[in-house]
């Protein structure tokens, strides 16, 4: 589903945030990505929906080589990927419903379908009763859940999460990770960047380890 072949990402200031990274994530896998601050985790995630382009190498997502992907196909690629961010990036003057509906509005869905899908997504994250609330009135964990609902509302086969539990207490963090696991159980390929080593251990998933832009580990837990 996601293959990196000798991927190097050099930023315009000449810094190599990723250096000849190679890995493959199969369809339906759930994988963690960890490493110190500045190791390149966010950079790696951003290459998948083409928020950034790699400088050298190949990124293959859902059968498409991204280096060859014409600009006109980027919206299609992004519709196949859901992404959540640590800082949520919710719109403060939009209700929870409207925040989650946004990707569907942009994609041109009709209102009855938008209602149905947004409510289904909010139901999955346990926030159906908050659809009329504004993000500022929600806890950090609830805001993260709204971000997750927005990421899955168009039912993408791939879900990426950048530090989804950064601001949360351990119990809430585990709940959020379990939510990702539920999406994975129904077939979604999940890749999560996280510092939370204990939590990653608890989840018992394959883990990629980055250090200064090098992929130095790819561990699969023993049964």
Ligand X SMILES: Nc1ncnc2c1ncn2[C@@H]1O[C@H](COP(=O)(O)OP(=O)(O)OP(=O)(O)O)[C@@H](O)[C@H]1O
Q: Which residues bind ligand X (CB under 6 A)?
A: 11, 13, 15, 17, 35, 37-43
Minimal distance, residue 20 CB to ligand X, in Å: 15
- Nearer Cβ to ligand X, position 39 or 188? 39
Minimal distance, residue 184 CB to ligand X, in Å: 22
List phi, psi (to 5°) of 204.
Answer: 65, 35
For residue 161, the number of C-alpha atoms closer than 13 Å in the C-beta half-sphere is 31
DSSP lists the bridge partners of residue 7 as 21
- Strands 64-65 and 56-61, by their bridges, are antiparallel
Minimal distance, residue 180 CB to ligand X, in Å: 18
Minimal distance, residue 6 CB to ligand X, in Å: 18
For the CA atoms of 40, 32, 76, 144, the dihedral, rounded to the nearest 10 degrees, stands at: -90
- Nearer Cβ to ligand X, position 86 or 189? 86
- Nearer Cβ to ligand X, position 33 or 125? 33
- Nearer Cβ to ligand X, position 41 or 154? 41
Distance CA 158, CA 152 (A): 9
């Amino acid at each position: 589903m996601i293959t990196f072949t000798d991927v190097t990402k050099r930023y315009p200031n000449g810094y190599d945030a990723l250096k000849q990274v190679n890995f493959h994530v199969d369809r339906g896998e759930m994988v963690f990505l960890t490493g110190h601050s500045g190791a390149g985790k966010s950079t790696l995630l951003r290459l998948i929906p083409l928020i950034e382009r790699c400088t050298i190498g190949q990124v293959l997502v859902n059968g498409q080589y991204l280096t060859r992907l014409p600009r006109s196909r980027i919206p299609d690629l992004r519709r196949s990927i859901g992404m959540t961010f640590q800082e949520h990036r919710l719109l403060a003057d939009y209700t929870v419903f409207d925040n989650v509906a946004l990707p569907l509005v942009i994609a041109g869905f009709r209102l009855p379908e938008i209602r149905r899908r947004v409510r289904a997504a909010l139901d999955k994250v346990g926030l159906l009763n908050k659809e009329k609330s504004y993000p500022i009135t929600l806890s950090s964990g609830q805001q993260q859940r709204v971000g997750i609902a927005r990421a899955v509302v168009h039912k993408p086969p791939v879900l990426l999460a950048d530090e989804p539990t950064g601001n949360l207490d351990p119990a809430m963090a585990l709940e959020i990770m379990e939510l990702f696991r539920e999406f994975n159980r129904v077939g979604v390929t999940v890749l999560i960047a996280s510092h939370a080593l204990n939590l990653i251990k608890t989840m018992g998933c394959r883990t990629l380890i980055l250090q200064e832009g090098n992929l130095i580990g790819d561990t699969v837990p023993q049964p």
